[in-house]
Amino acid sequence: MELFTHRYRNVSVLVAAVLAQLLLLGYQIRSREDVPLVRVWVVTAVTEAASLVESAAAAAADVARNYLWLIGVREENERLRRQLDELKLESQHLRAELARADRAEALRLFQARTPSRTLAARIIGAGPVLNSKVVFVDVGSRHGVEAGMAVITPAGVVGRVRAAYPTSSQVVLLTDPSFAGGVISQRHHVQGTLKGKGVRLCTVDYIQNEEKLEEGEWFYTSGDDRVFPRGLPVGPAVVVRRGRLLKEVLVAPSGLENGLEEVLIVLEGVHQPVPAATAPAASTLRLLPPPPADPLGAEEQGGPTASLETDADRLRERYRRIGEAQGHTFGEGLPGSPPPDFTLEVAPAKPGSPGGAGSPPPAP
Amino acid sequence: MRVDSDLLANGLGRPRQEARYHQLKLVAVPVAALVFQVYVPLVIVYLGYLELPLLVVLYYALTRRRQLASLFYGAAVGLLQDALSHNPVGMFGIAKTLTGYFAAAASFRFDVDNPVVRFLLSFFFYFFHQFLYWVLTQALLAQPASFSLQQALMLGLLNGAVAVPLFHVLAKLLGRG
């Protein structure tokens, strides 16, 4: 027995360790409860460390930009080149600052305009799972954030809060495979369920083939999921095709298009109507100008063949010529009078001879 | 260096050169790897393809050459990683427990100081770890996760290539002795 336990000690411990974790997993899955203490400790520690790293990186970049690059300049040429590089960097920096200020201003305006009560947050970390779409934001339960709250930007829906920790929160993006939410299309009011796929595009499931939906039609949150208030933009349908039973619809999330730096967390959502779809204005149809007149053609001046655009026009013109060649005027003969001989060939109208009506028909 | 007479007596052929590490560094390095995995992909997206916590576990298992220590180390790092993920705690834990155990077992059979062997083992265990995680996701969570063989192989090559110089850095950081 002792030999057995000694010999299989490693395997026994391995099996015990795996079983213990399986039991832990089973408990969480079955009871739908988490192990919050572990997560709180780890997330707080790691996100604080990530914040420190970010601050240190910013400070180091600041020191390098403000001091290190300004010393040691000896030759004029190098000094000028360095100044040029510095100006370029500054320009890039200012552009980035300007873009950031624009985003912050847009966020602030949107926050003031939307009836929902929101809280601004900054992205400070990404999830550790390959293909998972999870980020961490720098506000948590101390700021009033709770699990299940919607996360948005002025451009559209971003995701929802999965867990709120004291100083940070974990947000599942709508492209994550575990994400699902109710959506409604703008024009035809088709309802479906938005689901993440782990890639850039999301699917909208449960739309019958018979329902009408067009590519480019926007989807908005329907409010049915009790997470997102109704009326938030989600994104346009980029692919709409018939499936076996249900339509296959792919949506490009508009909230993730320009990257994520700042987001809003909806603390208290207020439903809004889905904006009405606007029909394309007539002026948006760009028509080509009419073609220029053919200088060689005489019949464009009002000649009978000027508008012979269809087979019916050409047939009508041929009958008119045949009638003229035989002295027959259509519409004037009495019932029973002989019709013109339609088997006669007449010469087609020549340029410069209006109508070509006087040309005699060739002998049959 | 410590020569294990039992192992020699058991005829496994290679004298065991175990590394011993400072406890504090053993904790700090995987935490740093996790911070790297959480923060750096925000700045450089492609670095998100590196599975640094796994490479740290692999380095520990291949150099420590103790199956029990490696499985517990793998479990600890995996559980830390789980705490940061949105999946239930234990998924990465199980995957890294098994990876640590088998990597330590493999260290008896191969010359793990050889860079080519390190590359191949890192490649293999990365693939093993990803496949195991996918199986667990499918079996336990019933999530519609997809497993791209091509992607896993490519990322395995990438992580294997990164593992070779990284192991040198870790040897200096952790201070073998």
Single residue among A91, A113, A135 that ends a domain in this structure: A113
Q: Which residue of B has its CA nearest to A160?
A: B86
Q: pTM, whole model, 2 decimals?
A: 0.57
Does residue A343 share a domain with residue A243?
Answer: no
The whole-angstrom separation of Cα A23 and Cα A34 is: 13
Q: Judge if A95 and A20 occupy the same domain.
A: yes
Same domain, A153 and A214: yes
Domain termination site, one of A268, A296, A323? A268
> Binning pLDDT at 50, 70 and 90, where does residue A7 land?
confident
Cβ of A10 and B75 within 8 Å?
Answer: no
Same domain as A85, residue A199? no
Contact across the interface for B39 and A125, Cβ inside 8 Å: yes
The pLDDT value recorded for residue B2 is: 43
Residue of B38, B97, B140 with shortest CB distance to A46: B38
B84–A132 CB contact, under 8 Å: no
Domain assignment present for A279: no
Between A68 and A276, whose confidence is greater? A276
Measure A80 CA to nearest chain B CA, in Å: 30
Residues A50, A150 within the same domain? no
At residue A19's C-alpha, the angle toward residues A17 and A24, to 5°, is 95
Same domain, A174 and A262: yes
The span from the CA of B29 to the CA of A153, in Å, is 36
| CA-based nearest residue in chain B for residue A165 | B84
Tokens of A203: 């699917």
Distance from CA of B100 to the nearest CA of A (A): 10
What does pLDDT average to over chain B?
84
Q: Tens of pLDDT along A287-299? A: 566 666 555 544 4
- Residue A92 is assigned to a structural domain of this protein: yes
Residue in B89, B98, B155 nearest the CB of A38 = B89
Average pLDDT over residues B147-175: 90
Instruction: Mark which of A268, A295, A327 sits at the end of a domain.
Output: A268
Candidate ranges A95-99, A112-116, A141-145; pick with highest mean pLDDT: A141-145
**Per-residue 3-state assignment (H helix, E strand, C coil) for chain B:** CCCCHHHHHHCCCCCCCCCCCCHHHHHHHHHHHHHHHHHHHHHCHHHHHCCHHHHHHHHHHHHHCCHHHHHHHHHHHHHHHHHHCCCCCCHHHHHHHHHHHHHHHHHHHCCCCCHHHHHHHHHHHHHHHHHHHHHHHHHHHCCCCCCCHHHHHHHHHHHHHHHHHHHHHHHHHHCCC
Contacts of B41 in chain A (CB under 8 A): 126
Nearest CB to B84; choose among A43, A53, A130: A43
Domain count, chain A: 3
Q: How close B24 comes to chain A (CA, Å)?
A: 16
Q: Which chain A residue is nearest to residue B84, measuring alpha carbons?
A: A43
- A187 in Cβ contact with A241 (< 8 Å): no
Range of weakest confidence among A123-132, A203-212, B67-76, B102-111: A123-132
Q: Return the residue of B nearest to A49 by Cα.
A: B35
Residue from B110, B19, B108 nearest B59 by CA: B19
Residue A283, pLDDT score: 44
In whole angstroms, what is the distance from residue B99 CA to residue B107 CA? 12
Q: Which residues of B touch A126 (CB under 8 A)?
A: 37-39, 41-42, 48
Residue B49 has pLDDT above 70, yes or no: yes
Q: What is the model's pLDDT at position A72? A: 55
A106 and A156 assigned to the same domain:
no
Residues A130 and A263 both lie in one domain:
yes
Single-letter amino acid, residue A40? V
Same domain, A95 and A43: yes
Alpha carbon of A30: minimum distance to chain B alpha carbons (Å): 10
User: Average pLDDT in the B84-94 region?
Assistant: 88
**Substitution target from B82, B102, B146, B153 for chain A, most A beta carbons within 10 A:** B82
Query: Which residue is closest to B52 within chain A, CA to CA?
Result: A128
Q: Do A247 and A263 belong to one domain?
A: yes
Which residues span the domain enclosing A153? 121-268
Q: Which residues of B touch A124 (CB under 8 A)?
A: 39, 42
